[in-house]
């Protein structure tokens, strides 16, 4: 199973021996062996005791409390960080080296923009009716890629962030791939205003936590990023790690709608936002369980590369 999603307000989690018990309205409806779990995702309405938290810690199970309406109130409980503190000390030293941070930021952006360009390029052949708008996006992305390839260590991080920010041209093309009835015109996060933004936000949130876990496993501080600067209660390095795979997440979300796994009727509009209804959530999570294995391997691979880069790069 690996990942367990529990979202109904009437549900409660308990533990007994080596099993996690699931109750609904006071009635036991299922159990899962704890050794089969890596991650449990719940909403704030799900009830669980501090004893269950202790059991999660014992078995190394990550708990994610996912608050769709108020993302800042989401929380994660993970196991112990890798014990080698020297890695984090070297990481803190590397953070003071702006040339090092600039190199890493350029690498991240180059991978992200290249994959955005490829995603739009593939759709250009599949959607000749969108040739004009997709070609316009590709031209802008190509200019950005050329500028980035010519960048050197003298580039300030703000310059790189400005270059990435101009990639709104990507979403101008990406948004046109979806049916107009979905109402997706641009990226809007808090709250998501349409079905596509709702799925993008949920996917990014879930995989951001995977990135945090991958970094903790290799002993790096997830809050100390290169491209994303320090910010209160933000896992900036996890944000960095996620950047290169965002275009692949976008492609997966597109397929959810293109293959009619999710439809407009799977969403409801309330409180100024757009949210998945229970039936839509089930299908989303079913496909996510399959796809997350690929993304998790990538994030763990990138985390290992980040750790090796931190440890091998000597101070200038």
Q: Yes or no: say if 229 and 236 are a contact pair by the CB < 8 Å rule.
A: yes
pTM: 0.82
Domain boundaries, the chain: 2-77, 85-312
Task: Supply the pLDDT for residue 316.
Answer: 42
Alpha-helical runs (H) found in the chain: 50-59, 85-95, 98-126, 131-149, 157-165, 168-174, 195-217, 236-242, 246-258, 278-312
Q: Decide if domain 85-312 falls under CATH 2.20.25.90.
A: no
Strands 75-77, 62-65: parallel, antiparallel or unpaired by DSSP?
Answer: antiparallel
Task: Supply the pLDDT for residue 203.
Answer: 93
- Report pLDDT digits (tens) over 29-47: 888 888 888 888 888 888 8
Span 191-198, mean pLDDT?
A: 91
What is the residue-wise DSSP string for 69-117? Answer: S-GGG-EEE--PPPS-HHHHHHHHHHHT-HHHHHHHHHHHHHHHHHHHH
pLDDT band at 278 (very low <50, low <70, confident <90, very high): confident
**Phi and psi angles of residue 300, each rounded to the nearest 5 degrees, phi first:** -70, -35
User: Residue 315: is its pLDDT beyond 60?
Assistant: no
- Report pLDDT digits (tens) over 77-95: 776 555 678 888 888 888 8
Q: Yes or no: say if 301 and 214 are a contact pair by the CB < 8 Å rule.
A: no
- What is the rounded distance in angstroms from the CA atom of residue 189 to the CA atom of residue 70? 11
- What is the rounded distance in angstroms from the CA atom of residue 102 to the CA atom of residue 153? 6
163 burial class (0-12, 13-18, 19+ CB within 10 angstroms)? buried
Same-fold call for 2-77 versus 85-312:
no
Distance of CA 104 to the CA centre of its chain: 19
What is the residue-wise DSSP string for 185-212? Answer: -S---SS--SHHHHHHHHHHHHHHHHHH
Task: Supply the pLDDT for residue 161.
Answer: 75
Give the class (CATH, top level) of 2-77: alpha beta
């Amino acid at each position: 199973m690996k990942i367990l999603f529990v979202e109904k307000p009437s549900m409660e989690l308990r533990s007994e021996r080596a099993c996690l018990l699931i109750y609904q309205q006071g009635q036991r409806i299922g159990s899962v062996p704890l050794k089969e779990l890596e991650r449990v995702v719940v909403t704030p309405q799900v009830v669980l005791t501090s004893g269950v938290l202790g059991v999660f810690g014992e078995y190394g199970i990550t708990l994610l409390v996912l608050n769709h309406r108020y993302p800042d109130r989401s929380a994660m409980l993970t196991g112990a960080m890798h014990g080698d503190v020297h890695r984090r000390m070297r990481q803190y030293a590397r953070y003071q080296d702006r040339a090092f941070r600039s190199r890493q930021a350029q690498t991240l952006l180059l991978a992200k923009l290249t994959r955005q360009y490829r995603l739009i390029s593939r759709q250009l052949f599949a959607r000749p009716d969108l040739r004009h708008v997709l070609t316009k996006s590709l031209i802008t992305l190509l200019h950005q890629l050329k500028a980035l390839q010519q960048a050197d260590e003298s580039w300030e991080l703000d310059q790189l962030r400005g270059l990435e920010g101009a990639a709104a041209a990507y979403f101008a093309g990406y948004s046109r791939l979806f049916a107009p009835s979905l109402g997706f015109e641009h990226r809007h996060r808090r709250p998501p205003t349409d079905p596509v933004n709702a799925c993008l936000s949920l996917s990014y949130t879930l995989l951001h936590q995977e990135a945090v876990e991958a970094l903790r496993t290799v002993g790096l501080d997830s809050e100390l990023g290169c491209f994303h600067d320090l910010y209160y209660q933000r896992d900036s390095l996890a944000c960095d790690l996620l950047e290169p795979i965002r275009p692949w997440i976008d492609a997966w979300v597109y397929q959810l709608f293109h293959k009619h796994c999710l439809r407009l009727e799977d969403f409801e509009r309330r409180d100024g936002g757009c949210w998945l209804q229970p039936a839509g959530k089930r299908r989303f999570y079913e496909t996510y369980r399959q796809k997350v294995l690929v993304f998790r391997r990538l994030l763990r691979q990138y985390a290992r590369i980040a750790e090796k880069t931190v440890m091998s790069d000597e101070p200038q």
